[in-house]
Chains A and B, each alone.
Chain A
Amino acid sequence: MSIKAIFYSKFDPHEGPKIVHQVPEDSILTTVDVPAINGSGSSAGSTSPALISFPTISRFLIPRQSLCGNLISLSRPPLTPSTPPTLVLSYPICLTSPQYPRNEFIFNFALVLSEPATTDIASYKSVVKKLAHLMRSLEEQSRFLSDDTAFPNSGKIYSLCEMLMEDLNNYCECMIPIDELNTLNIKLFPTLANPASVKPWHVPLFTVRIETMVDENWDLTMLRIIPYINGVNSVKRIAALADADVKLTKKCIKHLLYYGCILLLDIFSFNAIYAPTAEFCDMIAKDVEMQKECARYVNTAFAPTAQEEVIIDSATDRRTSNLTSVTLQDDEIWPLTGKGDPIDGVGIVQLFASLRQGLTVREWYAQNANILANIDMRRFITFGVIKGFIYRVHRYAIRTQKSLNSVPHHGDHNGDDLPDNLTKSMSSERQLNEESRSKRKHSRRTDDRGVPDHHLNQRILDFLDGTHCFDEICTELEISEKELMDRLRSRDIGEAVTICR
């Protein structure tokens, strides 16, 4: 019920700015006097109290010609203490033509919104703009507005405003035919924040039941990649599995992210390091419900098949296909240790708390093998990341020094200490010196795809400026983290410092 009133005002050559039609009637005062307040606080005699007074704001609604053609929003202190605060959105338009009595026709369709603090103003702004542009076209084509001689609050324009207000308030959309050629189509689109950028090493996970929304009319790439979004596959892997272009895949994922259908995680591996965030104490450490939710999610006794990986946001039930709809008793949810004792909420919190910087998942498992016997580790970690009290500690590498047997680098100069790894040279020229050529002959190890060794090292060099995490390097170059670490340690590329953050 956000739209309280809609009114149409114009500049009359004799009377000046005036309101022609308003819905509902008397919601906009046309005189300066504030209505007398009787004991109940509402203005006597009218069905709804007046919201705003037109003469006081007329200079903004029908402004001088240079201000026309812009969206103008007004927030005015309420008429009386009991009138709720309102926001007026308007788009005055000035049309110039010798046909009009003073060479110009200035008009304005304005919306009065209630509770500006809580409504989505941006979607109404586009409504006002669209309405203004449509009216402008109508006026230019057929003098629709200036030929309107109807009595105030009657006629076509009035009924148009009336229908618009009702439909938008009730259905959030409207389709109103104006004449045989023109229709007013308006829909309120919620404004969502721009999505974060999607990288090939991000792992998407659905937060909605996507199969209830998909039909065969959806985009081809989208249809192809949806089966592979399971919280395990990275974007690059999804593209490979679905045989889709990586760019298109990224775009689809971005769309899904924008509409809140997925969230992005990181690639799970046993080499990864996770640590608690600052919110740890306020979330799972205190929240018993969250602990129970976690227990239900990670207990391998209830594990669904691998294809059904979905987490419903803040849902306490799990999507299952092989679980009956029997409600679980409280004590049944807690997973059991290897020895058969249940792990309660406290135990779960302790498990999470034992994650820290410097401790890989593998090591953490080794420390807690008994407790983790019936807990799905990936889900455990994922639960923490989604809720936000665990974060992934990424590794970055910075090249600090060139190696003595330097790999030929683009445009290399001897004794050049500048961090050339920070610049990505696009030059295709390579200075091959005698040394490296001989080195190449010696160490001609090729990796799986047959690319010469030094070529791969070359590409690794580009990533060694401290801003590319290992996930990124491994995904882009399609090598394992172990191999990356080996190469870095081998000093073939020079000295590199690994940072975890």
Chain B
Amino acid sequence: MDRSKRQKQRKVLLMGRSGAGKSSMRSIIFSNYVAKDVRRLGATVDVEHSNIRFMGNLMLNLWDCGGQDSFVESYLTNQRSHVFTHVAVLIFVFDVSSKELASDMLSFASTIRALHEFSPNSKVFVLVHKMDLIPTGRKNTIYQEKMKEIRATCVEEGFVAEQVAFWATSIWDQSLYKAWTQVIYFLIPNAVAIENMLGKLAELLDAKELILYERTTCLVVTHISRKDEDENPYADRFERISSILKTHKHSMAKHTGMMASEVSFAEMQVKTGSFMFFITKLTENTNLAVVMPNNEGAFNAARVNVQIAKREFAHLDIMEKKGKDIQRTAKEAVLSEEEVGGVDSGEVGSQGPINDR
């Protein structure tokens, strides 16, 4: 019980028909596989459990469930309560190229029926996967059709609209990262607190955008966009950067002979005529990307200030002692560096009442 206060444990089910792409997604996001490599993966026999530590204060219990008929039958019958209790999130993967639409839908209906029975407050993420197999012109139509159908089934089984989210994904582009970013964002216990701190930092730096990335998965944790960034036409820029960072990891691993999971960098800078960008390590588990206007002085000041602010953000990963106010201003943090207890990776506090879980 104590452990769950310090480090939130979240049970995530990953289900879908056999060959839908569940294990492939899991290995790309969490095990540093490249999209080409997943061709070599074998079928998942029964359930593969993984415990993934995210951001230092979130422990994902990911259940990658084999999709063959006999396994699904087992989950729905003799393992029903074991599988479907205490679920935070169900990620259901539809293979958009599947020829057995009716039976896919049936399987989905039975699954969420069991989910509703044991975890009625859980959230369902439906991923319409393998979108790369659909010609570009038809992508949106097909996606909308599927979404309508599936939504109807969800309502039938008792899930309200807010509980279900839809995403179109493919392992060959950044849409995969977008979908999983949303899943993670939903699960992080202190997202609001992080956003508040980032917001204040952005004000101080006068940055255009601040994006927080998780180090090993390169997924976006959250981002702050100020002023006129809403007009930015590249709505998927964050996950594109995720993809770029991931690819960079793999290149580094290939050329230095290290494992992809060990690769990291200290700082990367991009300077163009219209903006300046740098990404640097913020805490043990996160990288911060800062987009600055085209001003050398502001840019350098921002770099220095981010270095100073690092210690304050270390609190994101460790437990706050009771009674301390976490909503400090960055100024206070800079002045009172001595008070900060350093980065001893210990327990983590539960911040931000997003949901009662």
A residues apposed to B, CB below 8 Å: 11-18, 32, 55, 58-59, 62-65, 94, 96, 98, 102-104, 106
Interface check B21, CB cutoff 8 A: no
A58 and B70 within 8 A (CB) = yes
Neighbour of A14 across the interface among B42, B68, B74, B77, CB < 8 A: B68
Q: Are B69 and A16 in contact (CB under 8 A)?
A: yes
Q: Tell me the residues in window 143-196 of chain B with beta carbons closer than 8 Å to chain A beta carbons.
A: none
Q: Which residues of A contact B45 (CB under 8 A)?
A: 11, 17, 62-65, 106
Q: Is the CB of B77 within 8 A of A13?
A: no
**Does residue B199 face the partner (Cβ distance < 8 Å to A)?**
no
Of B18, B66, B74, the residue contacting A55 (CB under 8 A) is B74
- Which chain A residues border B19 with CB–CB below 8 Å? 13, 102
Would A103 and B40 count as touching, CB distance under 8 A? yes
Q: How far is the CA of A94 from the CA of B77 in the complex (A)?
A: 28
12 A-B pairs with CB atoms under 8 Å apart are A14-B18, A16-B18, A16-B69, A32-B77, A58-B70, A59-B46, A64-B45, A65-B45, A96-B42, A103-B39, A103-B43, A104-B43
Assembly CA distance A64 to B44 (angstroms):
8
Q: How far is the CB of B93 from chain A (nearest CB, A)?
A: 16
B78 touches A11 (CB 8 A): no
Chain B: minimal CB distance from A142 (Å):
22
B 54-78 contacts with A by CB, 8 A = 66, 68-71, 74, 77-78
Known contacts A32-B77, A55-B70, A58-B70; A13 and B42 CB within 8 A of each other: no
Chain B: interface residue total (CB-CB under 8 A):
18
B41 on interface, CB distance cutoff 8 Å = yes
Asked if B66 and A16 make an inter-chain contact with CB atoms under 8 angstroms apart, the answer reads yes
Knowing A32-B78, A64-B46, say if A103 contacts B41 (CB, 8 Å): yes
Minimal beta-carbon separation of A108 from chain B (angstroms): 12
A62 to B70, CA, bound (A): 12
> Can you name 10 extra interface pairs (CB under 8 A) apart from A14-B18, A18-B70, A62-B45?
A11-B43, A12-B68, A13-B19, A15-B69, A16-B66, A32-B78, A64-B45, A94-B42, A98-B40, A103-B42
Please report the C-alpha to C-alpha distance between residue A98 and residue B42 in the assembled complex, in whole angstroms: 10
Task: Report B-chain residues with C-beta under 8 Å of the C-beta of A13.
Answer: 18-19, 43, 68
Binary per-residue interface labels of chain B (11-55) against chain A in the complex, 1 for a CB within 8 Å, 0 otherwise: 000000011000000000000000000011111011010000000
Q: Is B70 a contact of A102 with CB atoms below 8 Å?
A: no
User: Contact between A17 and B77 (Cβ–Cβ < 8 Å)?
Assistant: no
Chain A contacts for B42, CB-based, 8 A: 65, 94, 96, 102-104
Query: How would you classify the secondary structure of chain A's contact residues: helix, strand, loop or mixed?
Result: mixed
Complex CA distance for A241 and B327, rounded to whole angstroms: 100
The complex places the Cα of A63 from the Cα of B71 at a distance, in Å, of 12
A residues less than 8 Å from B41 (CB atoms): 103
> Roughly how many angstroms separate A296 CA and B174 CA in the complex, as a whole number?
96
- Give A29 to B278 CA distance when docked, in angstroms: 63
Task: Looking at the assembled complex, report how far the CB atom of A19 sits from the nearest CB atom of chain B, in whole angstroms.
Answer: 11
CA distance in complex: A458, B290 (Å) = 89
Q: How long is the Cα–Cα vector from A102 to B40 in the complex, in angstroms?
A: 8
Residues of chain B within 8 A (CB-CB) of A55 are 70, 74
Q: How far is the CB of B76 from chain A (nearest CB, A)?
A: 12
Q: Which single residue of chain B is at the shortest CB-CB distance from A65?
A: B42
Residues on A with C-beta less than 8 A from B69 are 14-16
Task: Assess the A15–B43 pair: CB atoms within 8 A.
Answer: no
Report the separation of the CA atoms of residues A104 and B18 in the bound assembly, to the nearest whole angstrom.
14
* Cα(A265)–Cα(B42), bound, Å: 61
- The chain A residue sitting closest to B71, CB to CB, is A16
Q: Which residues in A have their C-beta under 8 angstroms from that of B71?
A: 16
- B40 to A16, Cβ gap below 8 A? no
CB distance from A388 to the nearest CB of B (A): 54
> Which of chain A's residues has its CB closest to B72's CB?
A16
> How far does the Cβ of B77 sit from chain A's closest Cβ, in whole Å?
7
Contacts of A106 in B (CB 8 A): 45
Closest Cβ of chain B: how far from A117's Cβ, in Å?
Answer: 30
**Given the known A-B contacts A64-B46, A103-B41, A103-B42, are A15 and B78 also in contact in the complex, defined by CB atoms under 8 Å?**
no
Q: Which residues on A sit within 8 Å (CB–CB) of B77? A: 32
CB distance from A492 to the nearest CB of B (A): 72
Residues of B close to A103: CB separation below 8 A: 39-43
Residue of A55, A58, A59, A64 with most chain B CB atoms under a 10 A cut-off: A64
Nearest chain B CB to A346's CB is how many angstroms away?
70
A102 and B46 in contact, given A15-B70, A16-B70, A17-B70 (Cβ under 8 angstroms): no
Known interface pairs A11-B43, A63-B45. Does A16 touch B78 (Cβ–Cβ under 8 Å)? no
Contacts of A15 in B (CB 8 A): 68-70
List the B side residues contacting A18 at CB < 8 Å: 70
**Cα separation A13 to B46 with both chains bound (whole Å):** 12
Q: In the complex, what's the smallest C-beta–C-beta distance from B71 to chain A, in angstroms?
A: 5
